[in-house]
Amino acid sequence: AQRVTQPEKLLSVFKGAPVELKCNYSYSGSPELFWYVQYSRQRLQLLLRHISRESIKGFTADLNKGETSFHLKKPFAQEEDSAMYYCALSGGETSGSRLTFGEGTQLTVNP
Amino acid sequence: KAGVTQTPRYLIKTRGQQVTLSCSPISGHRSVSWYQQTPGQGLQFLFEYFSETQRNKGNFPGRFSGRQFSNSRSEMNVSTLELGDSALYLCASRRAGRPEGELFFGEGSRLTVL
């Protein structure tokens, strides 16, 4: 069975500090990993996916298959980064739009 | 381009009743999936429809069903409602050919079962 774990429900940092949101997964095949974000009073939206290897809003995430992790990082947090972040896993083409989500991490960036 | 639209946004039902939720995907998106979000279980996949066919189904009882129309709009139905069905139901659409997990979500339909 596939599983996504986000160990921190709440994370609070100061503006300008580095931030890392942890995500660990279990999956027997080759997963595709995603980070979704939900800002206050907005809908859930895709932030980034590991296959694109791009940086979005200063965030990056590297898939570490050895540690089965996909941590989200940003070197200098901004107040507008405050949001709920969800790590999600797809089993690939056979999974279709079936994503397994973690429970989410509420990030608060303090001024 | 209009986003994913879900109706109704809020509704209250009593145990034993049934409910139908509607989802209009982004124009051109043929895949529609449904998720249930609750404080205890988080986001859980219900099912996915593509070109009017159910493509994938999550681990929910048969009381949860759905369908998709030729214009890609989708409905989900929950029969014999239970208190535990109280949740935010999210619909997501995806464009064919895009990565499987690149979903566009609606704002959700918040169901309260009394």
The pLDDT tens digits of the residues spanning A1-53 come to 789 999 999 999 999 999 999 999 999 888 889 999 999 999 999 999 887 77
- From A78's Cα to the closest Cα of chain B, the distance in A is 25
Partner-chain contact B99 A51, CB within 8 Å: yes
Given a cut of 90, whether residue B99 has pLDDT beyond it is no
The token pair at B7 is 């109706």
Give A57-82 pLDDT, tens digit per residue: 999 998 898 999 999 999 999 999 99
Partner-chain contact A51 B94, CB within 8 Å: no
Half-sphere exposure of A93 (CA within 13 A, CB side): 2
* Chain A residues whose beta carbon lies within 8 Å of the beta carbon of residue B30: none
Q: Is B72 on the interface with A (CB under 8 A)?
A: no
| Higher-scoring residue by pLDDT: A27, B113 | B113
Q: Is B1 on the interface with A (CB under 8 A)?
A: no
DSSP string, B25-73: PPTT--EEEEEEEETTTEEEEEEEEETTEEEEE-S--TTEEEEE-TTS-
Q: Is A90 on the interface with B (CB under 8 A)?
A: yes
- From A50's Cα to the closest Cα of chain B, the distance in A is 11
Name the 3-class secondary structure at B21. strand
Q: Is A105 on the interface with B (CB under 8 A)?
A: no
Q: What is the mean pLDDT of residues B35-44?
A: 94
Given a cut of 70, whether residue B4 has pLDDT beyond it is yes
Given a cut of 70, whether residue B98 has pLDDT beyond it is no
**Which candidate in A32, A46, A98 is best for mutational testing of the B interface (most B CBs within 10 A)?**
A98
Partner-chain contact A44 B58, CB within 8 Å: no
Half-sphere exposure of A87 (CA within 13 A, CB side): 31
Q: Is B105 on the interface with A (CB under 8 A)?
A: yes
B14, burial (CB in 10 Å: exposed 0-12, middle 13-18, buried 19+): exposed
Residue type, A17: A
Nearest to B27 by CA among B89, B67, B73: B73
- From A88's Cα to the closest Cα of chain B, the distance in A is 8
